């Protein structure tokens, strides 16, 4: 039997500027049965000192330290090996929980008796707050994960891949087979969530709005940078398509291909933030990825894009097919 009811995994790298808020919410949410696992990913700021002080106010806190920076995926994988709990959730080091968040998470998954639960969250942009909802109309209703892929051109739960916006039952989901891809400095949560949806059987959405996601001003956030890590979405998309193909579910395959095309279009529209070399890399890798995708799925996906995006993506695919 696990020693704890719930494990919370946090990966932190140079998060000192924001960690005080996270640690305050952790102290407030702490109770017997909650295991906190923080991986300090070779931080060079005040992160280590703040975590050391937090051990006095956050019970059951384990701090693991990477001697060299390994990235959030590898850090989460290391934390997984220390998990000793029935349920699992995540917290980003620059985010925080509102009062009662973890209690509501645990009670929801117990009441609904599903493999995992998804939640809404609050986007924090300076002094502004905006609710971001899971794109799913069924609320507090258990349903099969196979029904979550939706229809092309419409947002669905697979467009909402935030691992921290949910809770996972480790008696129903085998964590040993769920490593994050450590080759990806960004976007590693995307194939991880897809694997959960493809391998689990049941899920549900609850309208919980007590996770606060900082739309970051953090200069170390790779998702905000215009560097080579920005292109990790391509490797993540290739992994997702492989997972979908292996599942044999036509809806999953179509959704995976459409998602890859959507992200390519998104990044092409913003390619000016990249160097000319990375722009060329973006186009070449995207063309190769889309050219390798199943033709039928590509054709169906293209129909739901607007004419400008359709022309752009179509030309890119033709280039990839040479």
Does residue 81 have a pLDDT over 90? yes
Does residue 216 have a pLDDT over 90? no
How far is the C-alpha of 42 from the C-alpha of 48, rounded, in Å? 9
Taking residues 204-210, report their average pLDDT.
97
pTM: 0.94
Sheet with 211-214: strands ordered across: 96-97, 211-214, 121-125, 128-132
Domain ranges in the chain are 4-221, 225-321
pLDDT-derived band of residue 224, with 50, 70 and 90 as boundaries? very low
Considering the domain 4-221 in this protein, what is its CATH number?
3.90.550.10
pLDDT-derived band of residue 322, with 50, 70 and 90 as boundaries? confident
pLDDT-derived band of residue 228, with 50, 70 and 90 as boundaries? confident
What average pLDDT is seen over the chain? 95
Residue 96 · residue 24 · CB < 8 Å: yes
pLDDT at 227: 78
pLDDT 10s digits, 125-175: 999 999 999 999 999 999 999 999 999 989 999 999 999 999 999 999 999
Q: Considering only CA atoms, which of 34, 87, 41 is closest in space to residue 58?
A: 34
Contacts of 265 (CB under 8 A, 6+ apart): 305, 309, 312, 313
Taking residues 204-218, report their average pLDDT.
88
Taking residues 274-287, report their average pLDDT.
95
pLDDT 10s digits, 134-144: 999 999 999 99
């Amino acid at each position: 039997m696990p020693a704890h009811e719930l494990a919370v995994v946090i990966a932190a790298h140079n998060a000192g500027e924001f960690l005080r808020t996270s640690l305050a919410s952790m102290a407030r949410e702490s109770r017997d049965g909650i295991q906190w696992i923080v991986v300090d990913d070779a931080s060079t700021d005040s992160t280590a000192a703040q975590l050391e002080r937090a051990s006095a106010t956050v019970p059951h806190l384990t701090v693991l330290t990477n001697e060299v920076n390994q990235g959030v995926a590898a850090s989460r994988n290391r934390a997984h090996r220390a998990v000793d709990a029935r349920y699992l959730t995540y917290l980003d080091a620059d985010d925080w929980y509102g009062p009662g968040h973890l209690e509501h998470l645990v009670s929801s998954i117990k009441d609904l008796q599903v493999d995992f639960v998804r939640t809404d969250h609050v986007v924090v942009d300076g002094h502004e707050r905006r609710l971001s909802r899971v794109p799913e109309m069924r609320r507090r209703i258990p349903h099969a994960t196979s029904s979550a892929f939706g229809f092309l051109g419409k947002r669905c739960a697979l467009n909402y891949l935030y691992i921290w916006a949910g809770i996972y039952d480790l008696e129903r989901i085998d964590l040993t087979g769920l490593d994050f891809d450590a080759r990806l400095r960004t976007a590693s949560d995307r194939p991880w969530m897809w694997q959960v949806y493809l391998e689990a059987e049941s899920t549900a959405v609850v309208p919980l709005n007590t996770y606060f996601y900082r739309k970051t001003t953090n200069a170390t956030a790779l998702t905000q940078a215009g560097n080579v890590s920005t292109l990790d979405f391509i490797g993540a998309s290739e992994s997702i398509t492989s997972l979908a193909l292996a599942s044999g579910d036509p809806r999953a395959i179509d959704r995976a291909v459409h998602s890859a095309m959507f992200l390519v279009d998104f990044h092409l529209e913003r390619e000016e933030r990249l160097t000319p070399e990375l722009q060329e890399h973006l186009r070449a890798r995207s063309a190769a990825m889309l050219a390798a995708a199943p033709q039928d799925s590509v054709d169906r996906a293209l129909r739901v894009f607007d004419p400008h995006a359709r022309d752009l993506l179509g030309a890119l695919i033709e280039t990839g097919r040479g």
